[in-house]
């Protein structure tokens, strides 16, 4: 029976055939132990010399790391094995003997591994991280489908900027200028006026000259947008969504979390509601903690965010930032125009901002005023004003950065490992 490692539990004491690669092997003279992977999992194959043909024994002896072959064997239940099963190998059918695979079981430097990202993806740690990423994507669709959101795909090539012009990637659109999307938000607002509750999931691009463990040049964002929804209602959706993501990973990826050595108690605790702190109080909290370098009106840097997050066990919403440091479309707090109805969700353990969101300006005159203040004179923005002209309603939305969320849930040091082929300041290879 041809099967995969993930399904061997269905074939205990039966003979199966699996297409595999060799990750490692050791031998004790009369027995060879083959560490095998097939993309779906990892399993040990055991060859006993006197129980297999001489051809099979010799073929196994010549196996090198990443050689590819079909292995035939009996599935044995074995509680000592990490997967719970072992394969008693009966035959091998070699596809290719690999030579000089560069990523050996010894330690390698980060740059070397990044240069070999196309191969590094095969290692058990990378495998676990990207499976957790997959689970977060799967759970995202489940959550928003269950809450009656429609998925809408905003364009990648755009004529306007959603988050300010400094970080835009410029490109040519025949004889015109165009930019790679920084955020689908403006289009999602149009979609919310057509469908009520919508979400997008797609790549976004920021030409940020940041070289930190939290920044990618190309990253994926989930952007829900909701008509007839105020800021407070949006926060409730956000905390329920993030809790659902974490609980889904705990439920569906226990072995991947184990591979990563993740402290599960930190994740089990992540359940809505999450605490909220205003920007004003966050400034006070920072001053109390001895940060004298920050004044009201300034944006937080990574150390500030970490210090705020450390004061809570759960992700924390920092709300009502100064109008001057946030995007042009955010709605001012009624009666206090110098702050906006927005929130950043800061993840625990120093992972920084995983969500940025706000209630949007729904008043046509105020939006026109903001256009003037921000010099948004390009005709490319005309359509966005029209959304406030024809049945404008209160609406809110947010963007969750997929890779930052994956880094936090996995408990890994650097965001580069959360993307299969990360685009970093100095890297577009492989």
**What is the biggest distance separating any 2 CA atoms in the chain, rounded to whole angstroms?**
86
Minimum CB separation of residue 261 from ligand 4AD in Å reads 24
Minimum CB separation of residue 108 from ligand 4AD in Å reads 25
DSSP single-letter state for residue 156:
S
Pairing of strands 176-180, 169-173: antiparallel
Determine the Cα–Cα distance for residues 430 and 421; give it in Å rounded to an integer.
Answer: 7
Minimum CB separation of residue 344 from Mg ion in Å reads 6
Candidate segments 88-96, 133-141, 366-374, 391-399, binder of ligand 4AD by CB under 6 A: 391-399
Candidate segments 129-137, 143-151, 276-284, 392-400, binder of ligand 4AD by CB under 6 A: 392-400
Q: Which is nearer to Mg ion, 184 or 356 (CB)?
A: 356
Query: Given candidates 32, 44, 65, 183, which one binds ligand 4AD under the rule CB under 6 A?
Result: 183
Minimum CB separation of residue 250 from Mg ion in Å reads 27
Q: Which is nearer to ligand 4AD, 89 or 246 (CB)?
A: 246
Query: Given candidates 353, 376, 388, 407, which one binds ligand 4AD under the rule CB under 6 A?
Result: 353
Q: Which is nearer to ligand 4AD, 348 or 397 (CB)?
A: 397
Q: Is 191 in the site for ligand 4AD (CB under 6 A)?
A: no
Q: Supply φ then ψ for residue 104, to 5 degrees.
A: -90, 170
Angle between helices 231-252 and 402-410 (to 10 degrees): 50
Answer for the pair 184, 221: CB distance below 8 angstroms, yes or no. yes
**Which stretch of DSSP H or E encloses residue 356?**
strand 352-359
Q: Which is nearer to ligand 4AD, 73 or 154 (CB)?
A: 154
Helix/strand/coil for 12: strand
Q: Which is nearer to ligand 4AD, 45 or 401 (CB)?
A: 401
How many CA atoms, within 13 angstroms, populate the side-chain half-sphere of residue 123? 20
Q: Is 237 in the site for ligand 4AD (CB under 6 A)?
A: no
Minimum CB separation of residue 128 from ligand 4AD in Å reads 20
The contact set with Mg ion (CB under 5 A) reads: 356
Q: Is 206 in the site for ligand 4AD (CB under 6 A)?
A: yes
* Binding partner of 221, given ligand 4AD, Mg ion, none, CB within 5-8 angstroms per partner class: ligand 4AD
Candidate segments 19-27, 35-43, 150-158, 350-358, binder of ligand 4AD by CB under 6 A: 350-358
Pairing of strands 157-158, 169-173: unpaired
Query: How many positions of this chain bind ligand 4AD (CB under 6 A)?
Result: 22
Vertex 15 angle, CA 13 and 19, to 5°: 130
* Footprint of ligand 4AD on 211-230 (CB under 6 A): 215-216, 219, 221, 223
Spell out where 150-294 has E strands: 150-151, 157-158, 169-173, 176-180, 197-205, 218-227, 276-278
Q: Is 331 in the site for ligand 4AD (CB under 6 A)?
A: no
Q: Is 354 in the site for ligand 4AD (CB under 6 A)?
A: yes
417 sits in the region (left: phi over 0; alpha: psi -120 to 50; else beta) called alpha
Two tokens, residue 187:
């289009």
Residue written as token pair 């226990």: 254
DSSP single-letter state for residue 65:
T
State in Å, rounded, how far the first CA of the chain is from the last one: 37
Task: Give the strands of the sheet with 176-180, arranged side by side.
Answer: 157-158, 176-180, 169-173
3-class SS shares of the chain: helix, strand, coil, % to 5: 35, 30, 35
How many CA atoms, within 13 angstroms, populate the side-chain half-sphere of residue 391? 8
Minimum CB separation of residue 284 from ligand 4AD in Å reads 23
Q: Supply φ then ψ for residue 373, to 5 degrees.
A: -60, -35
Residue written as token pair 């005309």: 382
Closest residue to Mg ion, judged by C-beta, is 356
Minimum CB separation of residue 342 from Mg ion in Å reads 9
Q: Which is nearer to Mg ion, 154 or 356 (CB)?
A: 356
Q: Is 162 in the site for ligand 4AD (CB under 6 A)?
A: yes
Q: Which is nearer to Mg ion, 75 or 316 (CB)?
A: 316
Candidate segments 45-53, 130-138, 315-323, 401-409, binder of ligand 4AD by CB under 6 A: 401-409
* Binding partner of 417, given ligand 4AD, Mg ion, none, CB within 5-8 angstroms per partner class: none
Binding footprint of ligand 4AD on the chain (CB under 6 A): 162-163, 183, 185, 206, 208, 215-216, 219, 221, 223, 353-357, 397-399, 401, 403-404
């Amino acid at each position: 029976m041809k099967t995969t490692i993930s399904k061997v539990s269905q074939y205990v004491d039966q003979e199966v055939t699996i297409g595999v690669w060799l990750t490692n092997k050791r031998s004790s003279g009369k027995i060879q132990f083959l560490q095998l992977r097939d993309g779906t999992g990892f399993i040990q194959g055991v060859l006993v010399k006197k129980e297999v043909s001489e051809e099979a024994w010799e073929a196994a002896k010549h196996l090198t790391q990443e050689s590819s072959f079909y292995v035939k064997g009996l599935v044995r239940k074995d509680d000592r094995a990490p997967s719970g099963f072992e394969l008693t190998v009966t035959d091998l059918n070699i596809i290719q003997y690999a030579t000089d695979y560069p990523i050996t079981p010894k330690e390698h430097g980060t740059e070397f591994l990044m240069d070999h990202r196309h191969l590094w993806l095969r290692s058990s740690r990378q495998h676990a991280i990207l499976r957790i990423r997959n689970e977060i994507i799967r759970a995202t669709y489940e959550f928003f489908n269950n809450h009656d959101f429609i998925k809408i795909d905003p364009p990648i090539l755009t004529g306007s900027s959603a988050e300010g012009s400094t970080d835009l990637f410029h490109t040519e659109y025949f004889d015109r200028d165009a930019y790679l999307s920084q955020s689908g938000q403006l289009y999602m607002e149009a979609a919310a006026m057509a469908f009520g509750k919508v979400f997008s999931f797609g790549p976004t691009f920021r030409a940020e000259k940041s070289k930190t463990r939290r920044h990618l040049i190309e990253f994926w964002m989930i952007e829900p947008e909701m008509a007839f929804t105020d800021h407070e209602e949006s926060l409730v959706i956000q905390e329920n969504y993030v809790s659902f993501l974490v609980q889904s990973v705990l439920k569906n990826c226990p072995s991947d979390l184990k591979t990563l050595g993740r402290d599960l108690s930190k994740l089990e605790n992540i359940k809505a509601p999450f605490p909220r702190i205003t920007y004003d109080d966050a400034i006070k909290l920072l001053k109390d903690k001895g940060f004298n370098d920050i004044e009201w009106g300034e944006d937080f840097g990574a150390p500030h965010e970490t210090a705020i997050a450390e004061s809570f066990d759960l992700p924390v919403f920092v709300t009502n930032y100064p109008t001057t440091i946030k995007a042009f479309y955010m709605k001012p707090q009624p009666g206090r125009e110098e702050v906006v109805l927005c929130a950043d969700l800061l993840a625990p353990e120093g992972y920084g901002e995983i969500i940025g969101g706000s209630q949007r300006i729904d008043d046509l005159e105020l939006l026109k005023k903001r256009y003037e203040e921000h010099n948004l004179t390009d005709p490319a923005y005309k359509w966005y004003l029209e959304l406030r002209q024809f049945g404008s309603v209160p609406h809110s939305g947010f963007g969750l950065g997929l890779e930052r969320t994956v880094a936090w849930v996995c408990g890994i040091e650097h965001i580069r490992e959360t993307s299969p082929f990360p685009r970093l300041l100095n890297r577009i290879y492989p």
